[in-house]
Amino acid sequence: MCLSQTKHDIEVSSRTYSKQAGNYQYEKALENMKNSAENSERSKMRSLNENFELNYARKERLESKLKKLNEQKISLENKLSSSPEKNSSTFNQKLTQIATSIAEINEKLIQNEKELEALQKQYREQNNK
């Protein structure tokens, strides 16, 4: 009886140890998954913040170019109105080029605004998780 009791105690102890070891591994795996998810969330937010900064910098650069082109356009229009007819074709050609550049920049600004809206949507989705 003593021998069978000892054998039974060893089996119970062995099963208990296996469960405890399994629980420890399970808890450790859960903790690792939690840490990984938190790191992933931080990485996504960092990436979103960088994309916001890039978007705003691009917008400022485009708006600066647009302002400069509009100033050139006004200057050329003033020169055109005060110049003789023989120079008007040159001014008109330059004005056409400027108008084309302004249209291109406006398209880029529209695209930039769409990108900003997409980033804002991603940011809201990220914060609602």
DSSP state string for 73-99: HHHHHHHHHHS-HHHHHHHHHHHHHHH
User: Is 115 a domain residue?
Assistant: yes
CA distance 70 to 101: 10
Higher local confidence (pLDDT), 25 or 71? 71
Query: Residue 27, SS3?
Result: helix
The number of domains in the chain is: 1
pLDDT at residue 2 greater than cutoff 60: no
Over residues 29-88, the pLDDT tens digits come to 778 877 887 888 888 889 999 999 999 999 999 999 999 999 999 998 888 888 777 667
User: Is 44 a domain residue?
Assistant: yes
> Which of 21-25, 79-83, 115-119 has the largest mean confidence?
115-119
Per-residue confidence (pLDDT) for residue 4, from 0 to 100:
55
- List the domain range (segments joined by +) for residue 118: 14-127
User: Is 77 a domain residue?
Assistant: yes
User: Is 6 a domain residue?
Assistant: no
User: Is 43 a domain residue?
Assistant: yes
Q: How many CB atoms lie within 10 A of CB 122?
A: 16
Per-residue confidence (pLDDT) for residue 1, from 0 to 100:
45
